[in-house]
Structure 1
Amino acid sequence: MTTDHTAQPSDAEMWDERYRESHRIWSGNPNAVLVREVEGMPPGRALDLGCGEGADAVWLARWGWQVTATDISRVALGRAAEHAAEAGVADRIDWQFHDLGVTFPEGEFDLVSAQFLHSMGDLPREEILRRAARAVAPGGVLLIVGHAGFPPWDHDHAHMELPTTDEVLASLELPEGEWDVLLSAEHERVQNDPDGNPVTRTDNALKVRRR
């Protein structure tokens, strides 16, 4: 038996290694667009795709949502579960491991959130987002937030396609007359560069509601 030393790590292994690089790689705060767009919605069932270390899911649970949160990294899911326990909302969140290009959570949801669902690996993003749309219950909302561009210091993602909200909407292939577009726009946010200097970034958001 021979061993293939050239085999590439799986996406799950790649993300586990990325999370192991530091004790925490995200801020621990919920994404600002999620907070802005979901505040005021009556809580129900939410699906958080690519939940990372769990800040969005914990915030949703605190506001009364019953959350299913998924990620491809078991390291991230472990940290997320710890965050939920510390916040006192562990009973409101179901943490699930999924490689979303292969498996997808079951059920219908009043909110499906995909915040920065980008990957350095082989991620069938359009297919995943179409499945996300199919998981939205009647009257429910799909919220997709993504990068509109990467900063100069980020060379790892240079090859990654960053669609506009119009392109994302078209790729969803939503049945005509069954959905309303509530938001389709770019927005700016400030992020510190590796030297600690503030840099303005541009992201975009698409919010659609099933009739």
Structure 2
Amino acid sequence: MAGEDRERWDAKHRALGTGTPLPPDALRGHLDLVPDRGRALDVACGRGAVAVWLAGRGLDVVAVDVSPAGLAAGGELATAEQPPGRIRWVEADLDDGFPVEDGVYDVVVCQRFRAPALYPALAAAVAPGGLLAISVLSEVGDAGGRFRAGPGELVRAFGELEIVAHHEDAGEAHLLARRPPRET
């Protein structure tokens, strides 16, 4: 990501300030599937609303974003909402690849960041029995563009996982999927 993109995101996050903990869009109607312990990864976490929400559910979270201002806002939100230590904030440019290589996660979230080159790494980060919740801008019900997923892109990209829910409409695509548990 170019330095000017990082600066643009920093300016946006500084202007918005601290947010409110919120579940990811792909989990709407499925909050009961989120575990109350384990590990979570929030990719392109922005101001940390989802990361803090996941920590509030009892998960230990790794939250990754390119924007130091976004991560700082997330840290402020976490301080206001959670006991310390539940979230590890990681500054990384996802255009340079997947920065987190410390195992698998019970919940992997990627909201409003489309990077098809990272789809295999996102899928690989989901633990057996774990969930993937991903939301991106979509061409379905909206104009096309380089940042928008084509029809069925998420289902095709994450076909190795069991699809729990999938929705494409009004310029958005949401996918909730689960990696099958290991057989005993």
User: TM-score category by the smaller chain?
Assistant: 0.7 to 0.9
Alignment equivalent of 1:204, drawn from 166, 173, 178: 173
Alignment equivalent of 2:152, drawn from 163, 166, 175: 166
1:63–1:110 CA distance, 2 compared to 1 (3 A): same
Pairing 1:126-145 to 2, within 5 Å after superposition: 126-145=116-135
Larger Rg: 1
Alignment equivalent of 2:41, drawn from 38, 43, 47: 47
Aligned residues: 175
1:14–1:202 CA distance, 2 compared to 1 (3 A): closer
Q: Find out whether 1:28 has 2:20 as its counterpart.
A: yes
**How far did 1:9 drift?**
3.2
1:74–1:151 CA distance, 2 compared to 1 (3 A): farther
Distance (whole Å) between structure 1 residues aligned to residue 59 and residue 151 of structure 2: 26
CA contact (8 A) 1:51 1:71 kept: yes
Greater RCO, CA 8 A, separation 6+: 2
For residues 9-60 of structure 1, the C-alpha deviation after alignment (integer angstroms, 9 at most, x for no partner) is 343233223323x143x85241444353343432321100111111111111
Q: Find out whether 1:147 has 2:129 as its counterpart.
A: no
Q: For residue 108 of structure 1, what is the aligned residue in structure 2?
A: 104
1:209–1:150 CA distance, 2 compared to 1 (3 A): closer
CA contact (8 A) 2:46 2:74 kept: yes
Q: For residue 166 of structure 2, what is the aligned residue in structure 1?
A: 184
Q: Find out whether 1:61 has 2:55 as its counterpart.
A: yes
**How far did 1:163 drift?**
1.6
CA contact (8 A) 1:165 1:206 kept: no
2:177 is aligned with what amino acid?
V
Secondary structure at 1:86 match in 2: helix
Q: For residue 3 of structure 1, what is the aligned residue in structure 2?
A: none
CA contact (8 A) 2:126 2:179 kept: yes
Distance (whole Å) between structure 2 residues aligned to residue 95 and residue 129 of structure 1: 21
For residues 88-122 of structure 1, the C-alpha deviation after alignment (integer angstroms, 9 at most, x for no partner) is 2332111111112224212210110111114xxxx
Secondary structure at 1:204 match in 2: strand
**How far did 1:202 drift?**
4.5
1:86 is aligned with what amino acid?
A
Q: For residue 122 of structure 1, what is the aligned residue in structure 2?
A: none
Secondary structure at 1:90 match in 2: coil
CA contact (8 A) 1:11 1:72 kept: no
Distance (whole Å) between structure 2 residues aligned to residue 37 and residue 165 of structure 1: 23
User: If the length of structure 1 is used for normalisation, what is the TM-score?
Assistant: 0.71
- Structure 2 stretches of 5 or more lacking a match? none
CA contact (8 A) 1:165 1:205 kept: no
1:169 is aligned with what amino acid?
V
CA contact (8 A) 2:71 2:89 kept: yes
